[in-house]
Structure formats: structure tokens, C-alpha cells
Amino acid sequence: MATTAPIVKMIDNLPTGDVTVRMLQALDFIVPGEWQPVRGFDAMIQHVTNESDPQLIALVRQHAISLYNDNSQGYQRAIWLYNTVDKADAALAAAALANQVGNKIGFLGFLKNITPKTTDAQYADFAIKLVAEVVGFCTINGLPGDSLGDFVKSLTSYRHEALMRMGTLIGVDGVLSLGPDFLDRTLRGLAEMGERTMESFPVYKEMAPVIPGSDTGEKMGFMQRSINDTADWITGLVQQAGLTPEKMTDSLGSILDFSKQSAEMVAPFIDLTTNYFTLTGTQTTARQIINRAIAEV
């Protein structure tokens, strides 16, 4: 795991108006009011704690930095995980887009013969991102990475950036990319997908070291269990928000000129041009550190 940048610098440099922020704002209807584009570490402390005393904020800031810099804690590892799944996902999305373009444009048809099948890529993308959320939760909370039961229980109290991240994963990488039956389709796709196919995806190659399991077969099994065990909660959120591919496309039409294109093109394009795991994951990690710091100072 590479050393990450200082937590203060990362929060200070968060975007407030780029395409990722605009996308999250457009998807606010999934989990209304849960996410805000807060930028600046001191502003984040005030936002999380509702405190405005400069001396207290300074104390919390100092202790939060100390907690993040402590390598025995899981905070740096969590940041690395969120960053890595986004970066590797972009490579997978580029391959998926190339495949779609190859299918739709005759003289580029050769591309579909040298890039992964779009559906396989999308199954892997959703499953690995969900596992990244499981492992990220465990890492931040000092739990073993395979503590799936603890993660599932925690979903009932998911809030703020973490809930926005899950809502975006379900809406964009699930409903928009694979349709209303995305859970069943992904489970069938994983069951039919060979280990060699999974190993061909850049996102899997990058994330494999942190996915529970001793080999690709066991890691794919953990992906399937993660989907099965979270299916009830995910289905509940889909129903509560009334998520459909059409609703997702309409909502994203305000920021992307893809409203008349197929969802197969929209979803990988979003993966290629946004980094919502990195943005919200950085905020989630900072919130966890700040909450701990305010309790300990």
C-alpha cells in the first residue's frame, strides 16, 4: 500500500463544482440531503461536530492528524482503497466504452474483439466496488476485512457520504448500467464468469490483494456473498428511491449530454470521468477521524 497524502491536504483540495460533484448533486434524490460538498479540513470539523470554537477546532485538527498518521490505524489504508478502486475502475470503463463503440461504429468493429465483453466488465465493476465498500468499512472500523456480517448490520445506520456512495453505486453501477434486475444479473454473471476473465480486469488486478480469499475463486465467492447478504437492503433503497434506468438517465441528463444515448454508454462514461469513491471515501474517512478526535480531546 502506497503512502497517501496528508488528510488535511486531501480535504482542503476536494472539488466543489467538478463533474463528480455535479453528478452527486444530481443524484441527491436517492438519499435526500445526506451529502454536502464540504471543502477544507476546518470546515469539515465544523460540519461534523457543529462546533465553532477556534481553540476546540485546533485541538480536534491536531488530534485528527495524529490519528491519521498512526500507521497502526486503518485510515491511510482506507484512503488507498477508495482511490485505487476509482483509478482501476477508469481503466475498466475505458475498455467497456471501446467495446460499445466497436459494436456501434462499423469501421471500429475490431475493438470489440480485443476488449472485454461489456456485461462481464459491468458485473465485475459492481461486485468489486461493493466489496471495496465492505473492506473500506472494516478497515476504518478496525475489523477484519471479511467481517461481512458487521457491514450488513451497519447499513441500517449508514449516513452522509457513505450512504451517498452506496446510493451512487446502486444507481449508476447497478440500475443504470445493468437494469432493474442488476443484482440477479450480476450474480448469474459471476457464476458463469471464469476466473481467467475476472483476472483480466484491471480493477480486479489492483483490488485482489484486499479482497478476502486465498485465490480468485474464493475472492469471487466473497463477491457473491457480499451481493447476497446486502440484497435486501439494496432492494429496499431501490424501491424507496424509485430507481429505474430512465429516472437515472433523466437525472444525469442535466450534467451529461447523454440523455438520448443508451445506458450502456452512459454508465462507463461516468466511471471514466468521475471519482465518486475517492471523493466520498475521503470525506467518510475524515468524518470517522474527526468524530473519534472530538471524543478523545
Compute the distance between CA of residue 77 and CA of residue 51 in angstroms, rounded to an integer.
28
| Per-residue confidence (pLDDT) for residue 285, from 0 to 100 | 97
Residue 6 DSSP class:
P
- Convert the pLDDT of each residue in 202-245 to its tens digit: 889 999 999 999 999 999 999 999 999 999 999 999 999 999 99
41-50, 82-91, 231-240, range with the lowest pLDDT: 82-91
Residues listed for the chain: 297
Compute the distance between CA of residue 179 and CA of residue 126 in angstroms, rounded to an integer.
12
Judged against a pLDDT cut of 60, whether residue 258 lies above it is answered with no
Compute the distance between CA of residue 278 and CA of residue 269 in angstroms, rounded to an integer.
17
CA distances from 112 to 73, 82, 91, 93, 270 (A): 44, 29, 15, 14, 20
Query: How does residue 104 score in pLDDT terms, banded at 50, 70 and 90?
Result: very low
Provide long-range contacts, Cβ within 8 A and 24+ apart, for 138-145.
139/74, 139/77, 139/78, 139/81, 140/74, 140/75, 140/78, 140/284, 140/285, 140/288, 141/74, 141/288, 142/73, 142/74, 145/210, 145/212
Grid cell for residue 120 = 462481464
Percent of the chain with pLDDT over 70: 85
Cβ-based burial of 239 (10 A; exposed 0-12, middle 13-18, buried ≥19): exposed
Judged against a pLDDT cut of 90, whether residue 266 lies above it is answered with no
Q: Which residue would you say has higher pLDDT here, 149 or 94?
A: 149
Amino acid at 278: T
Question: Cell 445526506 appears where?
Answer: 34
Query: How does residue 113 score in pLDDT terms, banded at 50, 70 and 90?
Result: very low
| Per-residue confidence (pLDDT) for residue 102, from 0 to 100 | 37
| Per-residue confidence (pLDDT) for residue 119, from 0 to 100 | 81
Judged against a pLDDT cut of 70, whether residue 279 lies above it is answered with yes
Judged against a pLDDT cut of 90, whether residue 122 lies above it is answered with no
Judged against a pLDDT cut of 70, whether residue 1 lies above it is answered with no
CA end-to-end distance (rounded Å), the chain: 30
| Per-residue confidence (pLDDT) for residue 259, from 0 to 100 | 45
Compute the distance between CA of residue 190 and CA of residue 218 in angstroms, rounded to an integer.
12
Grid cell for residue 116 = 472485454
Q: Do 40 and 11 meet the contact criterion of CB atoms below 8 Å apart?
A: yes
